[in-house]
Structure 1
């Protein structure tokens, strides 16, 4: 979405006004600014146009008091069918009960006649700037949720409070550590700490994350039955709306300390197996040829015996 003065030129508006003079003059001004302008003379016509063009109308500017169907009644009907575009009410009155009814419908703005046309456009720009940033925040939140969902499927994830008490662990955490969730929740995270890990490493970790920074490093942990496992860990602070640290989230990926050695060993084993199989095939071929030669020799010997007996 474009920002500032470019917003209005991309929008379509429904303008509802029962005064012919006001409606005609305002329509000219609106058409000079908006992409498309739908004009209605009362709430009933406005309701019809909005239903007909519900996918095209971005904002509604409507008078409150009108014949056939008031602006409030029109918007109430629109809300019933989930048409929730922003609405700006205009009225010559500032009755408190009227304003209360308007607020209950979730109206975006309210202007008292006569109002400044430039002020109207400024308010519309602000409305759509706010909508733009709300959509942006929702998209970022959705992307973050999808990212966390992906991590939850491939990584060892846990969440703690500021004292290190476990508040959440995912299934992979339980699978690797050998603990059930009930055995972990509420416990200190050092339940999986391996005694080989020095205190200085954890002192550095806590100092880093309590300062609001991200800690990364290799960690040796211990399973429930005492086996060791190694992880590449990333620990991030979690903040509340006041930018206060309220906990930490840990994201870890399994590694092996001697992964390179194991990889070389596996290569050597595979090469040896391949060499052995090749030798086995060669040996079997040689045995097969030898058997064929022996059979041929036996046939010749049998023929010679038969000839001499004859």
Structure 2
């Protein structure tokens, strides 16, 4: 089954790889360079620590062997954790040891992989870390955007925070500047205490009801200042939620529209006054009266449009704030789920790492059995080859022996022939000897015996 690796996410990252074996380091670094933006390498823990201190702003992940000279991987990460608590780390080792496992949990090691490295397992671990890093990046980006929106809202508007009972918990500096109240004077007071006396309390009840049901409320309020005067505020109230989407309070955003409200009221009063004068001064030119009316209507329309524009802009801010707040909670929830298995608690992390250790021990045992099987196959193969060679030698020896026997048989045939010839000549010599002896006897019988004995020897 093919593994799913997000190459775009990996290509955003830079890796520090620490390994004392030159060949392994060179091979894996070459492989990883196809996936990551940059690969930094070091031959031992001391060199890795020095390199990380120099390049820490450009390093996103650490991959390190545990057993190295000068400074081990564990010792190197301990030093790094003194000034960087969050850099993800993957340990590779040829051993599975409870002591290493315990240290790995304390140092917040992301993965613990047994050597020789399974590239598929390593890439899955790196992809998981890359996704977590990207989620953190998104959260940080959205937090920055939320902060910008917050700064815009806080710098241009009066902001009041309340709890779920609509008790004021804080007000911003802009509110204090406009109303003259101090933050400490209002904290703990119910929101409706700042309403101007002539305001109907039912308006606040409607606002509270919207907040309780996580709905946005918009309206214009007339509130009191510390000196007893009043101000008009274009007001928006939104609910504050916890991680479980439960209402925990409200955010009240107000824009001071006192000048516009007074001007609008003056225009309305002026319009009424002018209309009265029109009736009184019926002799005045109709065209002049229409011009005045049109002018006043135009000013009212302009003010209304400007007010609507301000409301629309504020609605956009509120909508964006709610959108990013929900998105922030969603991504945060996903991140917590992603990290839940390893970071929920040291005990859970330790159990998971122990399960990982059992799994890796089983992998080691399987690897040993595979190596033993390979060794037996290799040994039997050698024996078979040796027996084959021995039999081939024996066959050669037998061939030579057969050839030798054939030669002996041929020699035996030659010897038999010679023996027959020798027997023939022996028999012939024997017959000749008998003839000579017979001749000697005949000579002796006819000659002087004494003389003959001297010549031929005594018989």
CA distance in structure 2 between the aligned counterparts of 1:48 and 1:175, rounded to whole angstroms: 53
Q: Deviations over 1:215-245 (max 9, x none)?
A: 1111112234443321000111111122211
2:64 matched residue in structure 1 = 62
CA distance in structure 2 between the aligned counterparts of 1:201 and 1:113, rounded to whole angstroms: 70
Aligned pairs, number = 264
TM-score by length of 1: 0.73
1:230 matched residue in structure 2 = 232
SS of the aligned residue for 2:78 comes to helix
1:240 matched residue in structure 2 = 242
1:148 to 147, 150, 154: 150
Give 1:254 shift.
0.8
User: Contact 2:45–2:70 at 8 Å: present in 1 too?
Assistant: yes
SS of the aligned residue for 1:258 comes to helix
- RMSD over aligned CA atoms reads 3.0
After TM superposition, the structure 1 = structure 2 runs for residues 9-20 of structure 1, keeping only pairs within 5 Å, are 9-20=11-22
1:130 matched residue in structure 2 = 132
Q: Relative to total residues, which structure has the larger helix share, 1 or 2?
A: 2
Give 1:48 shift.
4.3
After TM superposition, the structure 1 = structure 2 runs for residues 72-221 of structure 1, keeping only pairs within 5 Å, are 72-80=74-82, 82=84, 85-221=87-223
2:298 matched residue in structure 1 = none
User: Contact 2:192–2:201 at 8 Å: present in 1 too?
Assistant: no
CA distance in structure 2 between the aligned counterparts of 1:34 and 1:263, rounded to whole angstroms: 68
Q: Which runs of 5+ in 1 are unaligned?
A: 266-310
CA distance in structure 2 between the aligned counterparts of 1:64 and 1:146, rounded to whole angstroms: 44
The structure with more radius of gyration? 2
CA distance in structure 2 between the aligned counterparts of 1:172 and 1:16, rounded to whole angstroms: 54
CA distance in structure 2 between the aligned counterparts of 1:125 and 1:76, rounded to whole angstroms: 24
Moved more, 228-237 or 128-137: 128-137
User: Contact 1:192–1:224 at 8 Å: present in 2 too?
Assistant: no
CA distance in structure 1 between the aligned counterparts of 2:205 and 2:57, rounded to whole angstroms: 58
CA distance in structure 2 between the aligned counterparts of 1:57 and 1:110, rounded to whole angstroms: 19
Closer, same or farther in 2 for the Cα pair 1:91/1:188, shift >3 Å?
same
Give 1:118 shift.
1.9
CA distance in structure 2 between the aligned counterparts of 1:189 and 1:195, rounded to whole angstroms: 14
Closer, same or farther in 2 for the Cα pair 1:67/1:234, shift >3 Å?
same
SS of the aligned residue for 2:36 comes to coil
Q: Deviations over 1:96-154 (max 9, x none)?
A: 32222223333332223345312211221221221122122123223323433343333
